[in-house]
Each structure stands twice: as C-alpha cells, then as structure tokens.
Amino acid sequence: MMDLDSIDISLDSSDPQQKMKAIRGLNNYDPEVAVPRLKANIRDREFLVRSFIAMGLGKQQSAESFATLLEMMKFDSDPNVRAEAANSLSLFGSVAVSHLALMFEQDAHWLVRRSIIAALSELHCTDEFFEVCVLGLQGEDQSVIESCIYCLGSFADTAKETAAIEKLLLLTDDEYWRTRMQAARALGKFNNERAIAALNKLKEDLDHRVVGAVLESTV
C-alpha cells in the first residue's frame, strides 16, 4: 500500500506515470483522504491523468466526488475525460440518471454519447434510456445511431415496446444499409406482428448484408 507522503510527492511530480501511480494508490484510502487530492488535480495538463482521476473518483462514493465528476463531465476539454467521468458517475446508480441524460443532450461527441448509452443501459431507467435512444437517432454520428438502434431492441416486453417498434419501422427504409441492418437485428428481438412483417420485407433488401442480418435475427 502506497503511503500518503509518497502519494503526495508523486502527485506533485511532472511525470504523468508517477501521477497515475499515485491516483491508483488512492484507491486504498477513504473518500475524505482521497477525494480532495483527486479534486486538486482535475485540471492536470495531461488528459490521461485526468481520465485516471475520473476513474478514481468513481471508486470514492461521496457527495464531493459526485460533484467533481459532474464538473469534469460538463467542462473538461477532452472527450475521453468527459466519457470517463460519465462512466464513473453511473457507478453512483439512479441518482446519476438525470445528469447523464441531460449530458447526452448537451454533448454531441460520439465517445461521450456512446459512454452514456452504455451506462444508462445498465441503470434500469426505461423512460430516460428510451428518450436518449430516440435523441441519438437524430444525431449525425453513425456509430451513435447504430448503438441507439441496437438498444431499441432491449425494450421488447417493456412499456416502451410499441414506441420502440415504431421508431425501428421508420428505419427499415433508410438509405444507408448499416442502418437497415441494425434495424433488422433490433426488430428480431420482438415477438410482434408488425416487427415480423418488417423483417419479411427486409428479407428482400437489395443489400445482402441486410438480408443476412434478418436471417441471423430470426434463427
């Protein structure tokens, strides 16, 4: 276990590796010891160090660490750090849901958005997660769009099933084959007449990759 004197010396070092070693060392200490030290370094010039700080704060469950992570998620200049802060916030559970959903609306960077999608998918927040997925479909990044399409399939047998199917049906005529392919995979999660009819239609798609997705989803 790294002693506090060594941690403080390493945190003051100009070597990022030493700082990250110290941040890891703080995992062995209680929040009242670790969080002030982590908080003091959230503006380190190295984004990797700040990412490690965000990870460290996620392991320290306190009001101060939560507030610090919120600040990092909202204001850090690097999307890698903002995404890591979002991941760490999700470890606090349901109290983080509204903050993550709002950040998804405000931050259009694909990495941040995909991190939030992954986090919300684990937090059992059906309404907020559905709204995030719908918002993501309206964005410009294809990887986010495909993640949201995939996640719409998770609403099978929930109160949002009909609404999710409606969104997916709109995507079956999309001009981009990858969007149609993901829609086919998601529709395969539903035991619903409209979903089945849409899959039968997609079996005739001009792109063989879409057809293959239909066959995979109906096995």
Q: Domains of the chain, with CATH numbers?
A: 8-124 (1.25.10.10), 130-219 (1.25.10.10)
Single pTM value for the model: 0.93
Output b/e per residue, 149-173; b: 16+ Cβ within 10 A: bbbbbbbbeeebbeebbebbbebbe
Mean pLDDT of 1-17: 94
Structure tokens at 38: 């982590």
Q: What is the band of 72 on the pLDDT scale with cuts at 50, 70, 90?
A: very high
pLDDT tens string 168-219: 999 999 999 999 999 999 999 999 999 999 999 999 999 999 999 999 988 7
Residue 67 has pLDDT above 90, yes or no: yes
